[in-house]
Each structure stands twice: as C-alpha cells, then as structure tokens.
C-alpha cells in the first residue's frame, strides 16, 4: 500500500514538474515571443481616416460635404477555408451591385486576405449584400465626398476621388487643409479582421480636416450660372464665363463657367466641360481694354478729359499706322471729332489708337501692367494663367495701335474683373479673394482673409473721371445700352474681338469673343461683373451678347444685396425707360451694324429752344435761374429754391439748360439740365466736382426737388 502511495506521489510530482516546466517555458522562456504572436493575431494598428473638411459659401450654405457610406470587400482566403462557392457568390454580388460578374469572380478567386468588390454603395445595395450573409463578404464604412448642389460652383469646388483626395479646383489646391491628418490607434480585432475593442480614446477632432468658408454667395452664383447658360445657348456660343466681384475688398461673389459638370459624377462629363475658363482661357479683350488705355493716359497727363481727337481717318475712314500702309478703322464709320468720353461711348478704335499713341509703347505697356494684365491674379485655384502682354520692346507700330483697343494681347475673365474693380475702387487694385476664413474642427478660426491692396494703379480722381465717362457707354448713344439696369446708373464697356488663330497666325474668320465689364451703382459701386461669351454664332457684338447677361445678373445681385435704387428708384423716369426700350427694339431689328436708335445733340437742341418773353413773373410763375457752370448739387439747390423740378443728365458741371435762364415758367415746371465733364483742372478739383455730382440726390431730398437722372450722352461731331 505504501509502495502504491509512494508511486502515485512520484507520478504526481513528475506530472507537476512537467506542468511547471511547461508553464515556465511558456511564461518565461517563450513568453515574449508568444505574446508577440498573439498581438499580431489579435491587435492591429488601425488607421483612422480623418473626416474631410466641409466647404461653405459666405453665409454657411454647404457646397461640399463628406457623408458616411458603406463599401463591400471580400476575404478570398476565408472564403476558401469555408468552402464558399465563389462562382455563385460572384453571380449574386454582381446582380445586387450592378457590376461586372467576371471582375467580381476574379477578385473572389485571388489568393489575398482583402479585395474591394464595390466601394461607396447605396444603402439599398448594402442591405442586399448584408442579407446574403456570404462568409468572407463584409461591409465597412468610409467617407464619400458629396456636392449637394450638384453643378453649382463646380469649377470652383473641383472634386475629390473615391479615396477622398482632391483632384481639381479647391479640393486640389486646398487638399492639405481639407484632408486633415491620418491617425493610427491599437485595436483588438476578431478572426475576420474586424475591430471589436480599443482602449485608446482618440479625440478625432485633432485629425479632421479644416472647413473652408468661401466669399461666394450661393444665390448670386446660381443667377450667374443660369444667365450665362441662357446666353451661351441663345447665341449658339461655344462657352462663356462670368465673374462677380466686390470692388471694395476684392471678394469673389460668383465665378461661373459654361459648359459645366456635376462633381458627384465628374467622369460622366468631358474634360473640356471641367475647364475653369474664367481663369485658364485666354482671349483678346477687344474694346474693353480701351477703358484702361484711357485711364492710363489720363493718369500720365498726356491726355486731357476735354481733349478732342479727330477720328475721321482718311477718305476711307481709316487711320494709316505705318509706312507699310497698315491701317485701322471704325468699321466704316466716321465719328468725326471725339473726346475721351465719346471715344469710350462710341468705342472708336481710331480714337483709342490716338490715345495709345499719346502714351507711347512704354507708357501703354506700363499702364496695362499696372492694371494687372500679363500676370496671374493669385487666386488659390490650379491652372490660372496670366494672359499674354508682350514687352513693349517687341512691339511694332501696329502693335501699339491694336493693343490700344484690345487686340494683340490676351487676358482672362478674372483679370478683366479685377482691373475694372480698380476703376470702381478709386484706382486701387485689390488682390481677389476666394476664401474668407479657415475653421478647424474645434470651430476655431485658424486663418482669415483681409482685403489686400496690390497697388494704387491711377489717382483716385482719374478713376472717378473714367467711371463717369463709362456711364455714357450704357446711354442711348453708347454701345452698351443692353447692359443698362433700370433703377441703377451703370458704368461699363463693351468688347467685340476677333479670335486669334494661334496655330496659323492671324485671326479666325467669322469667330469672335463678345464681352462686357462694368459696375453698379456707378456713383457708389457695390459689384463689378465681367461677362465673356466665346464664339457666339447668332450675333457677336459684346453689347448685344454679353450686355444682357450683365444686366440680369447685376439687377438680381443688387437686389439680393439690398442696394437701393438711386433716388428711391426714380433715377430712370418713365420717359427714360421707354426710350431705352425703343432703342433696344430698333437695335434688335438692325443687329448687323447696331445703328444708333436716334442721334441726340443736347447742346444744339437746347440752343434751338424757343425764346421766352421777358416779363415779370405773375402769381404761380417763377423765374428760371441761370445754372451754367454750377455743379449738380448747386444746380439742384437753386432749382429747389425757385420751386422747380430738375431733370439731370450726365455728370460734371452744367453746360446747358432748358428753359433758358431768365425765362418765366409755372411753379413746379421741370427744367432739363445737361452736365458735362469740366475742362481739365488739377486732380483735386476734379474729384471735388465729382463728389458734388454724387451728392445730387441727397441735396434733392433735402430741398424737395425731384431729380430725374440719366447717363451722359456724348455728342458726335462730324
């Protein structure tokens, strides 16, 4: 018995020793290695993809967001271990997901632990796959970029690919800000590789991408895109672009292109539709450049506002430029003698050339460069071009002539808007802004834009003088009548340019670029709008093709911004509106040459007014005061004190009036007052007189006078 007990004890001791030895071996000798192998099987460093930042408009409306979606993947090795019929699985999956069966079968048959079947599927598709419960087929959540407004601002936003990486537009240029940082955390996974537990608590806000708040106004952007698309289709054009800008701070309120695309399915549109034409496509600006030619000449002091230029040319009504007989003309018209304001209103090529010659090659080149032509504006968008403005040392005489009126150089729509903003903003060239602020995931502002003045291009007085001149362009004798906005005084310039043939040289026969750029209200600019239509087929004149786009976009924008119509909406009296409507109809019937609806010469017309009998005024009658030489404000006060209404036309000082001074008329009668730009003064004096004209409406309100204002009507002398 004792032997048995001893033997049993010995066996127990041997067994215990073996267990202890094995435990020692596992825990001590091989412990570290076994723990490492276990960790490899059960613990993984899981990469947490950050949530991409949201892009908003200036008011917080979402333009680009990231949404959670499900994607389908397979573990082919697991399917093999569990003897899954991959051919049957491929048939079922391809039917549920609408993908190619052979592609699915190929991935299920691979010798891999992981293979994507279909990414970013719909909720219905995900539910179908989940219901199949096929071993080795799993779903995972990931983030997808979504553009809730579809094609709205598509060229600005660009798009991101399936991995959430920016490909075009702001999605590309601001990738570092939007993407955030990828973090890795340790996690416990099951045999299928799914995360089941993580002890690490990660504040994922630190990894998330930043949000962008743009300067774009969603409403204005929509109007710009709608009107641009209408114009391109109406005139059977190839494409077009519109830029709406706040001249005071350089903020871009809208940037539209057509054709366009839906960034939710960018691959469905051709690459040409994805071109951000407003910043990438160069075009010869044509007559819009005359604005800056005139401004540069006035600023340099080589031209006076009242200076007259003979724009008749030779017997063919052409101006010979060089010894080889090269010449330019005004399409057969003889405008006679014109001032700079009249050159802009009539868009005379000869007149612009004569002004350009006054500047000389270096002067014109420097003037245009100061307005920003020949260099990119610096918008944070990929692909911006600076246009082409060759150095003046490479110019011939003909280059000086053609560049003066916008041929022989090329610009972009954003450059045109930025340059005109300098005129509207007192001569200050602003750096255009597209991003107002950058906000991180904790709602802290990490970057905020502020207005940046690149340089003072021309003196403030010169800019104001040119602004006044540009109001004549949208008058009844100007080329931009179609751009006039009822209730607001508009300053702007039309452009019609032949398209350059960059392959063969010269110009494309019958192909044009039509444009209009301007701002409103002219006396207190709130918006600058540049419209460019490429290759219109139905008509090609800038005033006819691009002008209406400016008018409709401008009208909607000013009302959206709450800008009151000048003079309480009475700036354009019924007679003025009717006159514009009549002229538009006449020009519609005479598209080919855009004939003037009627020729009006205010000074001569008023001089021919019948004489008034000189006598003492009776009861209910008043004496018409002499307004000649007075500024607008002074003239309004004088008429109000006399008990008379005022019909103001033009800007500057009083050049003529009707009834004539000294006449006797009934109290409350209307006196027509024509203002013209004064003769050349020192800049300070010009600015003072311009300010006086701008205060006319306030003076009228204070004195009770009724003001009916109209754009200046330049006189053509033949």
What residues are annotated to the active site?
287
CA atoms of 462 and 295, how far apart (whole Å): 7
Angstrom distances, CA of residue 219 to CA of 64, 253, 254, 486, 558? 16, 9, 9, 21, 12
Helices marked H in 57-139: 76-81, 86-97, 101-108, 123-132
CB 318 within 8 A of CB 329: yes
Secondary structure, 3-state, 418-450? HHHHHHHCCCEEECCECEEEEECCCCCEEEECC
Q: Find out whether the peptide bond into 679 is cis, omega within 30 degrees of 0.
A: no
CB count in 10 Å sphere of residue 22: 10
What does each C-alpha distance from 83 to 76, 90, 136, 190, 268 come to in angstroms?
Answer: 10, 14, 10, 20, 40
Neighbour-count burial of 481, counting CB atoms closer than 10 A to its CB (0-12 exposed, 13-18 middle, 19+ buried): buried
Tokens 């930043």 belong to which residue? 210
Cα–Cα distance measured from residue 545 to residue 381, given in angstroms and rounded to the nearest whole number? 28
Torsion of CA 478, 480, 486, 492, to 10 degrees: -100
DSSP 520-531: ESTTS--EEEEE
Asked if 354 contacts 309 with a C-beta cutoff of 8 angstroms, the reply is yes
- Given a contact cutoff of 8 angstroms between Cβ atoms, the answer to whether 146 and 67 are in contact is yes
DSSP classification of residue 26: I
The conformation of residue 381, written as its DSSP 8-state character, comes to S
The DSSP result for 390-404, as a single string, is --GGG--HHHHHHHH
Using DSSP's 3-state secondary structure scheme, residue 54 falls into coil
Beta-strand relationship, 115-121 and 428-430: unpaired
The three-state secondary structure class of 6 is helix
Q: At 485, list the tokens.
A: 């906005």
Question: Do residues 696 and 707 touch, judged by C-beta distance below 8 A?
Answer: yes
How far CA 135 is from CA of 76, 98, 191, 503, in Å, comes to: 10, 20, 12, 61
- How far is the first Cα of the chain from the last one, in angstroms, to the nearest whole number? 146
Q: What angle do CA 207, 211, 214 make, to 5 degrees?
A: 160
């Amino acid at each position: 018995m004792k032997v048995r007990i001893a033997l049993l004890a010995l066996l127990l001791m041997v067994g215990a020793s073996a267990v202890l030895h094995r435990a020692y071996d596992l825990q001590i000798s091989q412990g570290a290695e076994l723990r490492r192998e276990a960790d490899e099987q059960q613990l993984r460093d899981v990469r947490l993809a950050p949530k991409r930042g949201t892009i908003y408009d200036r008011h917080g409306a979402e333009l680009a967001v990231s949404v959670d979606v499900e994607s389908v993947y397979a573990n082919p090795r697991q399917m093999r271990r569990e003897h899954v019929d991959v051919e049957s699985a491929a048939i079922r999956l391809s039917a549920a997901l609408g993908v190619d069966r052979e592609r699915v079968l190929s991935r299920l048959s691979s010798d891999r632990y992981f293979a994507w079947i279909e990414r970013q599927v719909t909720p219905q598709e995900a539910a179908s796959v989940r219901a199949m419960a096929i071993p080795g087929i799993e779903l995972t959540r990931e983030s997808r970029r979504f553009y809730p407004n579809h094609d709205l601002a598509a060229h600005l936003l660009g798009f991101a690919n399936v991995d959430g990486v920016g490909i075009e537009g702001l999605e590309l240029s601001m990738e570092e800000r939007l993407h955030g940082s990828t973090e890795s955390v340790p996690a416990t996974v099951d045999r299928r590789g799914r995360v089941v537990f993580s002890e690490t608590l990660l504040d994922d806000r630190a990894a998330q991408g930043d949000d962008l708040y743009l300067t774009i106004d969603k409403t204005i952007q929509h109007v710009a895109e709608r009107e641009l698309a209408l114009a391109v289709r109406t005139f059977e054009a190839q494409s077009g672009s519109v830029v709406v800008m706040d001249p005071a701070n350089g903020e871009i309120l809208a940037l539209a292109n057509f054709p366009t695309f839906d960034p939710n399915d960018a691959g469905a549109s051709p690459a040409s539709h994805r071109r951000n034409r407003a910043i990438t496509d160069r075009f010869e600006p044509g007559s819009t450049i005359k604005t800056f030619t005139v401004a540069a000449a006035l600023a340099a002091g080589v031209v006076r506002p009242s200076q007259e230029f003979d724009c008749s040319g030779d017997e063919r009504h052409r101006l010979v430029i060089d010894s080889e007989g090269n010449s330019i003309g005004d399409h057969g018209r003889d405008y006679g003698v014109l001032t700079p304001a009249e050159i802009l209103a009539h868009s005379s090529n000869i007149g612009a050339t004569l002004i350009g010659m006054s500047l000389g090659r270096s002067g014109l080149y420097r003037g245009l460069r100061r307005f920003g032509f020949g260099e990119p504006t610096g918008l944070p968008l990929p692909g911006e071009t600076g246009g082409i403005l060759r150095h003046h040392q490479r110019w011939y005489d003909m280059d000086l002539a053609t560049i003066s009126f916008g041929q022989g150089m090329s610009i972009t729509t954003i450059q045109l808007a930025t340059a005109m903003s300098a005129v509207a903003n007192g001569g200050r060239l602003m750096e255009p802004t597209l991003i107002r602020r950058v906000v991180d995931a904790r709602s802290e502002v990490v970057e905020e834009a502020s207005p940046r003045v690149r340089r003072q291009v021309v003196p403030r007085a010169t800019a104001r003088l040119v602004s006044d001149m540009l109001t004549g362009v949208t008058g009844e004798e100007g080329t931009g009548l179609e751009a006039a906005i009822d209730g607001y005084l508009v300053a702007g310039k039309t452009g019609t340019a032949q398209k350059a043939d960059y392959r063969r040289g010269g110009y494309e026969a019958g192909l044009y670029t039509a444009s209009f750029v301007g701002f409103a209200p002219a006396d207190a600019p709130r918006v600058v709008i540049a419209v460019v239509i490429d290759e219109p087929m139905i008509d090609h004149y800038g005033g006819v093709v691009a002008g209406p786009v400016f008018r409709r976009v401008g009208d909607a924008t000013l009302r959206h911004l709450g800008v009151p119509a000048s003079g309480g909406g009475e700036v354009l009296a019924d007679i003025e509106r009717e006159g514009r409507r009549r002229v538009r109809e006449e020009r519609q019937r005479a598209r080919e040459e855009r004939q003037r609806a009627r020729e009006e010469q205010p000074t001569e017309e008023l001089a021919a007014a019948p004489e008034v009998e000189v006598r003492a005024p009776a009861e209910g009658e008043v004496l018409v005061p002499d307004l000649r030489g007075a500024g607008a404000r002074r003239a309004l006060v004088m008429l109000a004190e006399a008990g008379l209404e005022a019909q103001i036309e033009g800007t500057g000082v009083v050049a003529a009036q009707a009834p004539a001074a000294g006449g006797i008329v009934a109290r409350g009668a209307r006196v027509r007052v024509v203002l013209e730009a004064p003769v050349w003064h020192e800049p300070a004096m010009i600015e003072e007189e311009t300010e006086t004209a701008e205060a006319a409406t306030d003076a009228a309100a204070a004195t009770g006078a009724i003001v009916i204002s109209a754009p200046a009507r330049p006189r053509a002398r033949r």
